[in-house]
Structure 1
Amino acid sequence: MERLVIEVPDFPEPGILFRDISPMLADHTAFTTVIEALASAGRDASGATVVDKVVGMESRGFILGAPVALALGIGFVPVRKAGKLPRECHAVSYDLEYGQATLEIHTDAIDPGERVLLVDAVLATGGTVAATRQLVDLCGGVTQAVSVLMELGALPGREAVGGLPLTVLATV
């Protein structure tokens, strides 16, 4: 995995160690394997899809979540930073490792009762997952599981996931 995920120190701010997944995305075999592994969180033991939508968080969650939705045969919903969606939105603010952010979702993106799989690249403090789960709740959806490429094991992200099933492909 070291050759496919490159650690970049002091990005986007001093003291942050960014994990660049670009080499993994450029490797067809690795990318395909990752997408299938992330999609497994949206399937039952027989392989049947058990979620109605995949929600991916800006921005690497878009890159991973959209092909996960295709693999599951369902729709994809983007959760974006504030001010990026053109129609009526729900918004939730939260803390990052290095500041604060607000995420938004279109109010009609998820129908009441729809089962949702959250997909992102990294689980760090868990703020993004917790905020996205709140957005799904505001739409009336039900978050079924979380699937991430990497978990930063030294940070408390799992606490924010709570009792949801969590699929992690690598802990760093």
Structure 2
Amino acid sequence: MTNPGAFENQPGFIPPHGGYQKLKSYQMSELVYDATVKFCDRFIDPRSRTHDQMVQAARSGNKNIAEGSQVSGTSKKMELKLVGVARASLEELLGDYQDFLRQRGLGMWPKDHPMARTVPPRPSFSRNRTNPPKPVTPPHPSDSSNALPPKLGTAQPKPPNPS
């Protein structure tokens, strides 16, 4: 019978893990979280369920990336599960922003929209960057909603049809 602790002293038994602050997905999710808090505080009633749900979805996306990275050394299955939860949370958040725009008759800008050029560009992250810039919330809700990253990992939705 093998000693259960025998592997603990072997170098490399638990693969490297953590370091999530250097991941582009984490850095972007942190910007999304910070911008969502500012957006919700500015444009959505703080007592509303929507305010809480949007902030919590943004937080969940951010924190699950971090937690997935931390647990990756001991469980790849759990890492994938947590990253999936992060992705689903950010998907939910995107839907909330789309709902916000649609319910107010504000369209979602395509990437080449003239107003998109007035919004400060999204930061590009280098591999060694650990302190991404904090978001600036434009004054109009349409500008603010459209300034956020479209979605981490999938295509942008189509703008609403004018009818």
- Band the TM-score falls in, shorter-chain normalisation: under 0.3
TM-score (norm 1): 0.22
RCO higher in structure (CA 8 A, sep ≥6): 2
Structure with the largest fraction of strand? 1
Structure with the largest fraction of helix? 2
